[in-house]
Amino acid sequence: MLLCIDIGNTHTDLGFIAPGGHDAASTTATLPTTELGEIDAAIRSLGEPAATLTGIAFCSVVPAGTIRLPKLLERFDLPVWQLTHTANLGVPINYPNPPEIGQDRLANAAGACALGEPPVVVIDLGTAVTFDIVSKRGGYEGGIITPGPALMTRYLHERTAQLPLVEDVTTPVTTAIGKSTQEAMRIGAVLGFVGAIQACLDGVLAELTAAGEPTARILTAGGAANVVSGRLTQSTIDVPDLPLRGLAAAWSLNRT
């Protein structure tokens, strides 16, 4: 088994998963990235399979976390491998400046390819929403970055004098007409968010079709995935542990 760790801007996800990324993580845990120092307790909560743990793979979009994590994992005395743009993802990277690609996006691409053939569109709905596109002809092509719903409501709160902070932006709305300021803000964030995701997805799929690509699979991941579930025109498959699967897949590709 591998211990795979995805250090995100808001949360750090971790889990035990078999190399290759074909199977779901056996157990997972999440902790705030600001509390990365508590990762040892999070690992213990997984039920550490000490006898079968062969390595640790991680990706990070937080430079301070990237530096700190290996020191926090020294007790395992195992190889610690970081996913970067130089890794073999299973497909080529067709991107002008690969170093600027977020490591979480690379993990999503590797995980998506481990689960099936391109073309595939991955929509990771977290603090920021990322679209990552892997084509059949070119490999990893790039994608889209847009704010998640929590960023929308937080920005409104911070940049206005009277609008409150609305934190529930994951529960689907049941009306399009708000009867309070908070409800109006939540509707705007949730319904507007779904509309933005649909518009981005339509644009990506149209471009793939124009390039002669077959019909793409669409995978979702991230904490806000339930907001768009069943609300998009296209069918999607939610893979909550996709970045962890991608780390496990990339580990195998780069250890041979």
Mean pLDDT (whole number) for 16-37 = 94
Q: Give yes or no: residues 23 and 93 share one domain.
A: yes
Domain membership flag for residue 101? yes
Cα–Cα distance between 125 and 152 in angstroms, integer?
13
Mean pLDDT (whole number) for 100-118 = 96
Q: Give yes or no: residues 124 and 14 share one domain.
A: no
Quick one: which H or E segment has residue 249?
A: helix 242-254
Which among 118, 142, 113 has a CA at the least distance from the CA of 130? 142
**Per-residue pLDDT reduced to its tens digit, 158-206:** 999 999 999 888 777 889 999 999 999 988 888 888 899 999 999 999 9
Query: What's CA 80's distance to the chain center, in Å?
Result: 21
Determine how β-strand 80-82 pairs with β-strand 120-125.
Answer: unpaired
pTM of this structure: 0.90
Rg of the chain taking only CA atoms, in angstroms: 19
Tokens 């491998």 belong to 81
Residue % of the chain over a pLDDT of 70? 98
pLDDT class of 51 with cuts at 50, 70, 90: low
Q: Give yes or no: residues 134 and 208 share one domain.
A: yes
Domain membership flag for residue 31? yes
Instruction: Choose the final residue of a domain: 91, 115, 139.
Output: 115
Tokens 């190399």 belong to 19
Query: What's CA 162's distance to the chain center, in Å?
Result: 33
Q: Give yes or no: residues 102 and 126 share one domain.
A: no
pLDDT class of 249 with cuts at 50, 70, 90: very high
The three-point CA angle 78-8-219 to 5° equals 100
User: Torsions phi, psi of 171, nearest 5?
Assistant: -75, 125
Q: Give yes or no: residues 70 and 130 share one domain.
A: no
Secondary structure of 20-54 in the HEC alphabet?
Answer: CCCCCCCEEEEEEHHHHHHHHHHHHHCCCCCCCCC
Cα–Cα distance between 246 and 120 in angstroms, integer?
14
Q: Give yes or no: residues 148 and 201 share one domain.
A: yes
Q: Give yes or no: residues 38 and 127 share one domain.
A: no
Domain membership flag for residue 230? yes
| Active-site hit among 6, 13, 40, 104 | 104
**Per-residue pLDDT reduced to its tens digit, 70-96:** 999 998 889 999 999 999 999 999 999
Per-residue model confidence (pLDDT) at position 129: 92
Question: Which domain, by its residues, includes 214?
Answer: 117-238
Domain membership flag for residue 3? yes
Quick one: which H or E segment has residue 181?
A: helix 181-210
Q: Give yes or no: residues 150 and 76 share one domain.
A: no
Helix boundaries (H) for 46-180: 63-72, 103-114, 149-159
| Contact indicator for 17, 24 with CB cutoff of 8 Å | yes
Domain membership flag for residue 250? no
Give catalytic status of residue 104 as yes or no: yes
Domain membership flag for residue 227? yes
User: Torsions phi, psi of 121, nearest 5?
Assistant: -115, 125
Q: Structural domain tally of the chain? A: 2
Cα–Cα distance between 178 and 60 in angstroms, integer?
38
**DSSP code for 166:** P
Q: Residue 48: which CATH number?
A: 3.30.420.40
Q: Give yes or no: residues 60 and 127 share one domain.
A: no
